[in-house]
Structure 1
Amino acid sequence: MKTAIHLGAAAAAAALFTATAAMAHISVSGPAFAGATHEASFGVGHGCDGADTYRVKVQIPSGVTSVRPMDSAFGKAVLEKDAEGNVTAVVWTKPTVEDVLPADTNYYKLTVRFKAPDTPFKTLHFPTIQTCRTADGVETTAEWVDTSGDHGSHGTGGDAPAALPAPALMILPPRAPGWNKYTVNEHVHDLSVFKDALIVWAGKAAYSPNPVTLGLIEAEPDTEVLSEIHPGTEIWVKY
């Protein structure tokens, strides 16, 4: 672990730095922490080609336990389970067709509380089926089920791609203020998972979400910029 880079100015700048990212039409709040209870809110930003959302079915990935959804103004939550009693999906449906709005005007938030699996740095995907309904009763669906990371177009409606990006939630290890040592057992391609860290070290490579600190890393002799983390890598992260 190297400590030669001075973090005083970088830490001050970090307080002002805000990372931005494109959001899918069905988003999920996170990150979650390994083995801990997490309250995830699924945001439904749009309907389908001008039609209001009528039903949302969120599939629960394997390893997620103690699933307890919340009813919302959108509608009551219904659980689907497998033969062993494990929750496999949560479905919210508007109470009646009369509750469907005449146009796509509203944002909806649907919440589930669950225990995250003890799998640090793993990404959980929640494939989601969104059903919309027009004022004259025509139903269409948008399938937010792509887990490849290659999202392409985010359109909805009849010309939509076969699979839209599934809501994705990163699982982080427990942390403490200061330096934290981890062994990463997943391939981490997107280092924005460390967006609230001051700096990350892996051998002679380092990363920071703060542009000031990143500039110091780039200028440091014999230091590489960390761009991805391979399974089995030991890292140090300062929060």
Structure 2
Amino acid sequence: MKRVFQSCLLVAGSLFAATAARAHISVSGPAFAGATHEATFGVGHGCDGADTYRVKVQIPTGVTSVRPLDSTFGKAVLEKDAEGNVTAVVWTKPVEDVLPADTSYYKLTVRFKVPDAPFKTLFFPTIQTCRTPDGTETIAEWVDTSGEHGNHDADAGTPATNPAPSLTVLPPRSPGWNKYTVNEHVHDFAVFKDALIVWAGKAAYSPNPNTQSLITTEPDTEVLTAIHPGTEIWVKY
């Protein structure tokens, strides 16, 4: 274990591997617990050649102080429940601005307060409506919250179908060692992509392939592949 610690201190930087985006509507991160986050939803394409006409992003419970930013796409309208909590943000493009074909990439931005729930995954189920020049509308529902979104079921490694945009809430951190108690199931270790090393008891993980290789050969050290609720971990940034 000592050799692994020493090796980590010599590592100049971590491996910043970009996660392949399967969703046709993405969301920007990272989002830190208890902080204000400006999330941009990227609409990569329309529906079967038709331009995107409307986008409805559902706001998960716990996300507060929701305020959409101005967009060239169209006006944003907030939907609220009986208690006044924002449940969705809907952007609709003026009909006269709908393009004759699917040729544009759109960015829609919302500013909100992230709940104080480190390592929790926030899902933003999104309904995309497209429109052809003759007025025909098609709906694409990006609402799947299963698959590789980090759930702890047996199919956690299976890609989600029509996945909802999602953000994993990161805990506050400082340079050096940080101690956390994790209250969520964590299987997607992309949440640690900028860490040098993660320790949980005798198990360790690193996004850096050299350090990870040392972990696999270190006596009395296991490879960390999942974190369960109630686990205490140490993370070096």
Structure 2 counterpart SS, 1:106: coil
Structure 2 counterpart SS, 1:129: strand
Q: Work out which of the residue numbers 195, 210, 213 in structure 2 matches 1:212.
A: 210
Q: What are the Cα deviations for residues 39-80 of structure 1, in whole angstroms up to 9, with x where unaligned? A: 100010111111110000000011000001012010111111
Q: 1:86 to 1:3 in 2, by over 3 A?
A: farther
Determine the structure 1 residue equivalent to 2:119.
Answer: 121
The code of the aligned residue for 2:19 comes to A
Q: What's the CA shift for 1:21?
A: 2.0
Determine the structure 2 residue equivalent to 1:139.
Answer: 137
Does the 8 A contact of 1:13 with 1:212 survive in 2?
no
Q: What's the CA shift for 1:136?
A: 1.8
Structure 2 counterpart SS, 1:206: strand
Structure 1 counterpart SS, 2:87: strand
Does the 8 A contact of 1:10 with 1:210 survive in 2?
no
Does the 8 A contact of 2:196 with 2:208 survive in 1?
yes
Q: Distance in 2 between matches of 1:3 and 1:80?
A: 54
The code of the aligned residue for 1:197 comes to A
Structure 2 counterpart SS, 1:192: helix
**Gapped runs of 5+ residues in structure 1?**
155-162
Q: Distance in 2 between matches of 1:40 and 1:10?
A: 34
**Gapped runs of 5+ residues in structure 2?**
150-157
Structure 2 counterpart SS, 1:4: helix
Q: 1:10 to 1:190 in 2, by over 3 A?
A: farther
Determine the structure 2 residue equivalent to 1:7.
Answer: 7
- Aligned identity (percent) is 79
1:44-63 correspondence to structure 2 within 5 Å: 44-63=43-62
1:41 and 2:43 matched? no
Q: Distance in 2 between matches of 1:185 and 1:8?
A: 26
Normalised to the residue count of structure 2, the TM-score between the two structures is: 0.91
Q: What are the Cα deviations for residues 199-229 of structure 1, in whole angstroms up to 9, with x where unaligned? A: 0000111001111111111111111110010
Q: What's the CA shift for 1:9?
A: 7.8
Normalised to the residue count of structure 1, the TM-score between the two structures is: 0.90
1:16-31 correspondence to structure 2 within 5 Å: 17-23=15-21, 24-31=23-30
Q: Distance in 1 between matches of 2:9 and 2:116?
A: 35
Determine the structure 2 residue equivalent to 1:194.
Answer: 192
The code of the aligned residue for 1:182 comes to Y
Determine the structure 1 residue equivalent to 2:153.
Answer: none
Q: 1:193 to 1:8 in 2, by over 3 A?
A: closer
Q: Work out which of the residue numbers 178, 188, 200 in structure 2 matches 1:180.
A: 178
Determine the structure 1 residue equivalent to 2:91.
Answer: 92
Q: Distance in 1 between matches of 2:93 and 2:54?
A: 6
Determine the structure 2 residue equivalent to 1:159.
Answer: none
Determine the structure 1 residue equivalent to 2:162.
Answer: 164
Q: Distance in 1 between matches of 2:129 and 2:159?
A: 19
Q: Distance in 2 between matches of 1:143 and 1:8?
A: 43
Q: Distance in 2 between matches of 1:149 and 1:165?
A: 8
Q: Distance in 2 between matches of 1:52 and 1:22?
A: 24
Deviant stretches of 4+, over 4 Å? 150-154
Q: What's the CA shift for 1:13?
A: 4.9
Structure 1 counterpart SS, 2:215: helix
- Count of residues in Structure 1 that have an aligned counterpart in Structure 2: 227
The code of the aligned residue for 2:40 comes to S
Does the 8 A contact of 2:198 with 2:206 survive in 1?
yes
Q: Distance in 2 between matches of 1:198 and 1:150?
A: 23
